[in-house]
A and B are shown apart, each in its own frame.
Chain A
Amino acid sequence: MTEEITHHPEPSYLVDTGKRKGLMAWLTSTDHKRIGLMYLFAIMVFFVIGVILGEMMRLELFWPGQQFYGPQTYNGLFTIHGIIMIFTVVIPGLSVVFGNFFLPILIGAKDVAFPRLNLFSFYLFILGAAIAVSSQFMGNGPPDTGWTFYAPYSIRTHTNVVAAVFGAFVLGFSSILTGLNFIVTIHRMRARGMTFFKMPLFPWAVYATSWIQVLATPIVGITLLMIIAERWLRIGFFDPALGGDPILYQHLFWIYSHPAVYIMILPAMGVITEIIPTFAQRNVFGYKAIAFSSLAIAGVGYFVWAHHMFTSGMSVSARWIFSLLTFLVAIPSAIKVFNWVTTMYKGSIDVKPPLLFALGFIWLFMIGGMTGLTLGSLAINVHVHDTAYVVAHFHYIVFGGVGFAFFAAVHYWYPKMFGRMYNFKRANWAFVFLFVGFNLLYFPQFIIGYMGMPRRYFDYLPQYTFGHQLSGLGGLLLGIGVIIMLQNLFSKKGAKAPDNPWGGNTFEWRIASPPTVENFDELPEMGENDRPYDYK
């Protein structure tokens, strides 16, 4: 682990060296590192807003009966909470922040293939988010359909469905262009000598993710346009009165939205695969297995969508086929977990904050993944569909998985991005509050869901009170954890960071912290015998 501070003569990317200065230098920059940071800042803001919306829901749910707001407000809350968290936080998520910042560096390039398109993607992201959020403040009130916008209610409700749906459409466009950019970058801009199988595993994860973004998002794009056409033009595709079919909407929606969850999780898994070898100081176990499992998850993930629809009236054949495929898609994810754990075996473990968050990820992801299997079992699904059990499952996977991986990535790459360290003790405390709070918030939801507590309900029968109050307490601890973490990361008192604070082996640890504008003084090359992870 190199602790000495190397002095680099070239200015870092944080210094304005072009014609413009200050805010305008950032807003017009096509530098992938600056774009990654702008995304980080925006996503952090949306995440905090989403957390506040979540806490507001927990507040109402703390006691049975109505205390603070009624069903209409509550329905609006869980709708916008979902829209913000899904479309502006976790789907863009690790791809746009760490993919943008580190993909070029990890493959030895100066930038992505289309830097101006990259900036355009960022502006589409901001525009889409603004349009979606505007749905809260206009005319007929915030949408109350849930982020899933199911027909026929989404066609009939008078609330601002069009604004929310169009915002999501623009966000989808941003996602498609980012995916396109990364695919071309990986194909065309790898360092000399870096074959696909010498690429580190985070770029592999980003590659698989990008294909999903490009192939799945257009379907939800057209589906959202159909919702708008239904509301404005009475096109009737989902309206039985005109010959349409609401179940058709569900199919079209989930054909994207299931692959979308793999857009969320694949880069997250990629980050964990970078962190664990570094803090175990061992080569990753089963490099090819991890690379291929990313592709397998992306591929098989296209064929499981109807597991969101087991109770919609499908034939028994359709149901068992989708159930089987759902079980199959869990296999490549499990392969990754085995490989991570095996990488740590007999390694030289250094429990720094990034590893702590990575280990937390493994625990939470496993619970989320295994409850996905129980949900995928037809007999169980009938009882727990649309209950708090589902809510617990997806929060474990998305928040526990993607969220904790995001925190892990921030703590791992913070010294590189900002050239400063942070306080390890505070980071560890943040982790404790986040981890304990998280489990206390969501585990009881499995239990009350199994006992029959429906999801998306603002009120409930008295027998679920204790579970909700445990959750409420968990939410409080989680909120405190978020505050501690943010306060720690924003504090400017950290020591100057060395080029390689963790003893990592991939390209980003060979360049300055923070990097220069062009990343590398000389573009790196990989020789015959070089490997992406070269620990003893």
Chain B
Amino acid sequence: MEHRDDIGAKLGMWVFIFTEILLFGGLFLVYAVMRSRYSTDFHHAAHHLNAFIGAINTVVLLVSSATVAMSITAVQKGNTKLAVNLLLLTLLCAAVFMVNKYFEWGHKIHIGLYPGSDLMITLNHGEVMFFSLYFFMTGLHMLHLIIGGIILTIVLVKVRSGTINANRYVLMENGGLYWHLVDLIWIFLFPLLYLIT
């Protein structure tokens, strides 16, 4: 009973993307409430974030969105080798992002700026809220980045084996869509956390 419906598959993926946006939406709601309540503290606390590294991460993710989109076009044109290489490039970008994040978080944890730390309890309420939001939102984003990486790895395997090919690539489109979501969430996080100084 081979039932193939590419339009249905894409519709399902779009609905799922919508639910992910709403999931993060709850956090953006908390951000909005806390920032309107503690706007000065947020402004001060944001100075602890390195906007340069944040900008690099933004560029890295934008590039990765481009490479994954290009790899889909490569599959559509039957160029498996190019598609695989572009997917590998995408995953490399993801790795770079994670390494940057590791250093960012590592530094903050090292100087005691993390939820529940002794230092955190001494800070102003607004600053505590800012850092809590920073860790929760970037942490949840990181989780989705890892999930996206796993999805794209599965796609890569299937492109190499030929399961995904020029006549059958909806799985890859859906995977790419998920990756674009991960990118989009970061595009919102970056200015809200890093650029409010």
Contact = CB atoms under 8 A, between A and B. Distances in A.
Interface of A: 110-111, 113-114, 117, 176, 180-181, 183-184, 187-189, 214-215, 217-219, 221-223, 225-226, 229, 233-237, 242-245, 248, 252, 518
A93 B11 CA distance: 25
A243 B38 contact: yes
Interface stretch (B14-22, B69-77, B82-90): B14-22
B25 A187 contact: no
B12 A181 contact: yes
Nearest to B114: A233
B30 interface: yes
B contact patch SS: helix
B23 A188 contact: no
Contacts of A222: 23-27
B26 A223 contact: yes
A248 B30 contact: yes
Given A235-B132, A243-B125, A114 B12 contact: yes
Pick from B5, B12, B115 the residue with the most CB of A within 10 Å: B12
Interface of B: 1, 3, 5, 7-8, 11-12, 15-16, 18-20, 22-27, 29-30, 33-34, 38, 115-116, 120-121, 124-126, 128-129, 132, 135-136, 140
A214 B13 CA distance: 12
Contacts of B115: 229, 233-236
B116 A215 contact: no
A183 B8 CA distance: 10
A180 B18 CA distance: 10
B126 A214 contact: no
A contact patch SS: helix
B8 A187 contact: yes
B151 to A, nearest CB: 15
B128 A236 contact: yes
Contacts of A114: 12
B18 A184 contact: no
A236 B20 contact: no
30 contacts: A110-B3, A113-B12, A176-B19, A180-B12, A183-B12, A184-B11, A187-B8, A188-B8, A214-B15, A214-B18, A215-B18, A218-B19, A218-B25, A219-B22, A219-B23, A219-B25, A219-B26, A222-B25, A226-B26, A229-B115, A233-B116, A234-B120, A236-B115, A237-B30, A237-B132, A242-B129, A243-B38, A243-B125, A243-B128, A245-B33
Given A180-B12, A234-B115, A218 B20 contact: yes
5 residue pairs, one from A and one from B, having the closest CB atoms:
A243-B125, A222-B26, A234-B116, A218-B22, A218-B23
Contacts of B124: 243
Contacts of B30: 226, 237, 248, 252
A342 B5 CA distance: 41
Given A180-B16, A183-B15, A233-B115, A221 B128 contact: no
Nearest to B24: A222
Nearest to B33: A248
B40 to A, nearest CB: 13
A481 B177 CA distance: 52
Nearest to A245: B33
B47 to A, nearest CB: 18
A226 B7 CA distance: 35
A217 B33 contact: no
A372 B23 CA distance: 29
A200 to B, nearest CB: 21
A518 B8 contact: no
Nearest to A240: B125
A215 to B, nearest CB: 6
A110 B125 CA distance: 57
B26 A252 contact: yes
A110 B29 contact: no
A218 B26 contact: yes
A242 B125 CA distance: 5
B52 to A, nearest CB: 27
A111 B22 CA distance: 28
Contacts of A217: 19
Nearest to B117: A234
Given A215-B18, A235-B132, A235-B136, A243 B126 contact: yes
Nearest to B12: A184
